[in-house]
Structure 1
Amino acid sequence: MNRIKSLVRSAVVLGAAVGIVGTAAACSSSKSSGSDSKPAAATSAAGSSSAAGGTAASELRLGYFANVTHATAVVGVGHGEFAKALGSTKLTTQIYNAGPAEMTALLGGQLDAAYVGPSAALSAFVQSHGEALKIVAGATTGGAELVVKSDINSAADLKKKVLATPQKGNTQDVALRFWLKQNGLTANPDGTGDVSVNPQDNATTLDQFKAGHIDGAWLPEPWASRLVLEAGAKVLVDEKDLWPGGQFSTTTLVVSADFLKKHPDTVKALIDGQIAANDWIKANDADAQTLVNDQLKKLTGKALTADVIKRAFGEQSVTNDPQASTLQTASDHAVATGLLKATDLHGIFDLSILNAELAKGGQPAVSDAGLSKK
């Protein structure tokens, strides 16, 4: 236990220094709430949290972002699938603006589970020497683009330009820096290089682009769509085009390794709630857009336009598959850009509960790409 506490303290310091984080959210501060969701209209895959063994937790503390790329969590909370699946376990939610605070909270014991980008999960895994967390499911694939001014037509046109990302070292930040590197352009972590990359809040990015202070940004949804539809940006790179089959992980579900060990039945219930939420989203696209937009208004104070929410939904897909085969590639990209140290990723996944629950519903198992065992 002393070793874990020492690792957590180290992780907090490193997280603040390195800043490798997940997708930034629409809101500017963390918000906490209890489980006040309305009952789910869809049938949950689990009626109680008692089938996976261990004891049910009295409370599950869940973090996520107010982003379209976190639609699984937004629907699971707002439509009631999580609360229904968790049964008597109290669901307490916390909204985060970006990954550093969320992963610090998980590592420090303030969260039990979190929806977060793969770079944040990688960072926390590395910082804790592989002991603090497990990726137990995917949540979103796709939904990230490099959008730029209309007169920019190629990578070469970006030299001496200023681009933004949600946070230094987050999933989109790594993607941008690696893509620039592949195209012969430097974008150093200290802000120097051929291209200046300014990590900042997504709402600030929208305002800065409108004002002409930046030339583009690599963003998750709905922010890429907002720059396109509200600020006249155009898509230079759709990240889907950079991955085999257009599949890559944007959002994952991670849980504290200690919580998973003590309360596997509660993790099972959360995963059942996710499966039910994703099934509902896939079967009710228009209603899901409306629900997510209503929840984003509740969480951030402002709804998206109908055109933005429609485009954002069309750029991504919810999924239970964490796209495990792409995680090593994402890690290699972060290492290549100087944002993460090389590490052995074996042990980062535990998809056993997910695959057992998928099998119950007649859905195919997902792969851990051989990374579950240390």
Structure 2
Amino acid sequence: MIRIKSAARAAVAFGAVIGLAGAAAACSSSKSTKSAGTDAEPAAATSSAGGGTAASELRLGYFANVTHATPVVGVAHGDFAKALGTTKLSTQIYNAGPAEMTALLGGQLDAAYVGPSAALSAFVQSHGEALKIVAGATTGGAELVVKPGIGSAADLKGKTLATPQKGNTQDVALRFWLKQQGLTANADGTGDVSVDPQDNATTLDQFKAGHIDGAWLPEPWASRLVLEAGAKVLVDEKDLWPNGRFSTTTLVVSSDFLKKHPDSVRALIDGQIAANQWITSSPADAQQLVNDQLKKLTGKALTAEAIKRAFGEQTATDDPLAATLQTSLDHAVATGLLKNTDLHGIFDLSILNAELAKNGQPAVSDAGLSKK
């Protein structure tokens, strides 16, 4: 398993690949409810179930996005806290996955909800040692939205488009799609199309001001550009995948944390299963709760129309859609953002499938990628 010193070295390498200043810069751009002095490995406490050990604290990262409805609900609805019992849950909010994965590689997070591209980057940079994908969370909920006058890919030549962060899932999706259309979008921002990674809130303001021509965004930001700024959908990412299903958000855990505290990971997954069941069975209540939390986390609630549209673009799921991960890697390799690597060992769905069985739900596939 990766040690703290080697994890820190991996974090530096990861930051260099995705254009970050490093773990400290990543954390300064996030919102945290973590108490001071928790960067050290959490102490273990005796577990009340399973006969193993539970962590005294679990440090969890996620985004204030509708595509992260699972953790937003899990925290606010109390599903995570109920399942974790005496384990303290500390949370930290991020804008995009690369910064979040830098924090996980640097030992500042134990688990994180993140898109597959950023998870792949961390896996590659740590030589397959730093993390495991232990569950899915969301499928769908990402679109390329543009100015009304843009009607085709050809119209994008000479234009500027935004993504949440260089190397994140939507950034890879945009760059690969442009490549398929015969358009260049170089990592330094040059090419037929200039890709300008930036904070999602900044993207909304920049689009309204006419400084950018569109963006490939997760929900609710795609909906906000459509409803608040007059953008139109040029590409719905669901249309690019078989059966319209692709992984938008997954749950990853530090390999070291999983080894030391499997009971805590089991509890977190139990909380997720409960949260997703509630989201599915009570969609109106879930939308209201997520909107209330978005206001708390970002200072602004969505309109009723925006939250409804955003929720309608995605589906909560515990399935990480493992069979799509190789395709995600292929896209990142094709755009020069990642090098090819063997993905065997990136999944550990054993706890998820055991807990799904307890809830009377079918097992999900790891696509043969659990073992090295």
- TM more than 0.5: yes
Query: 2:234, 2:128 → 1: CA distance?
Result: 36
Indicate if the aligned counterparts of 2:4 and 2:107 stay in contact, CA closer than 8 A. Answer: no
Secondary structure of the residue aligned to 1:344 is coil
The aligned length equals 356
Indicate if the aligned counterparts of 1:112 and 1:256 stay in contact, CA closer than 8 A. Answer: yes
Unaligned runs of at least 5 residues, structure 1: 22-27, 36-47
**Structure 2 equivalent of residue 77 of structure 1:** 75
**Structure 1 equivalent of residue 11 of structure 2:** 12
Secondary structure of the residue aligned to 1:281 is helix
Counterpart check, 1:108 vs 2:106: yes
Q: Deviations over 1:305-355 (max 9, x none)?
A: 111111000000110000100000000000000000111010000000000
Between 220-229 and 6-15, report the one with greater CA deviation: 6-15
Q: Deviations over 1:203-234 (max 9, x none)?
A: 11111111111111100000000000000000
Counterpart check, 1:33 vs 2:33: yes
Distance of aligned partners of 1:78 and 1:32 in 2 relative to their CA distance in 1, 3 Å threshold: same
Secondary structure of the residue aligned to 2:3 is helix
Indicate if the aligned counterparts of 1:135 and 1:350 stay in contact, CA closer than 8 A. Answer: yes
**Structure 1 equivalent of residue 42 of structure 2:** none
Query: 2:5, 2:84 → 1: CA distance?
Result: 32
Query: 1:32, 1:265 → 2: CA distance?
Result: 24
**Aligned runs of 1:255-270 on 2, under 5 Å?**
255-270=253-268
TM-score by length of 2: 0.92
Distance of aligned partners of 1:20 and 1:334 in 2 relative to their CA distance in 1, 3 Å threshold: farther
Secondary structure of the residue aligned to 2:104 is helix
Q: Please, which of 125, 128, 131 is the counterpart of residue 126 of structure 2?
A: 128
Distance of aligned partners of 1:49 and 1:98 in 2 relative to their CA distance in 1, 3 Å threshold: farther
**Structure 2 equivalent of residue 313 of structure 1:** 311
Q: Please, which of 195, 202, 208 is the counterpart of residue 197 of structure 1?
A: 195
Query: 1:34, 1:288 → 2: CA distance?
Result: 25
1:96 Cα deviation after fit: 1.5
* AA at the equivalent of 1:281: I
Unaligned runs of at least 5 residues, structure 2: 21-27, 36-45
TM-score by length of 1: 0.92
Counterpart check, 1:216 vs 2:214: yes
Secondary structure of the residue aligned to 1:56 is strand
1:6 Cα deviation after fit: 4.8
**Structure 2 equivalent of residue 370 of structure 1:** 368
**Structure 2 equivalent of residue 356 of structure 1:** 354
**Structure 2 equivalent of residue 330 of structure 1:** 328
Indicate if the aligned counterparts of 2:163 and 2:197 stay in contact, CA closer than 8 A. Answer: yes
Identical residues among aligned pairs (%): 85
Query: 1:288, 1:49 → 2: CA distance?
Result: 31
Secondary structure of the residue aligned to 1:253 is strand
Query: 1:232, 1:161 → 2: CA distance?
Result: 17
Indicate if the aligned counterparts of 1:50 and 1:265 stay in contact, CA closer than 8 A. Answer: no
**Structure 2 equivalent of residue 347 of structure 1:** 345
Secondary structure of the residue aligned to 1:343 is coil
Indicate if the aligned counterparts of 2:136 and 2:317 stay in contact, CA closer than 8 A. Answer: yes
Counterpart check, 1:92 vs 2:103: no
**Structure 2 equivalent of residue 281 of structure 1:** 279
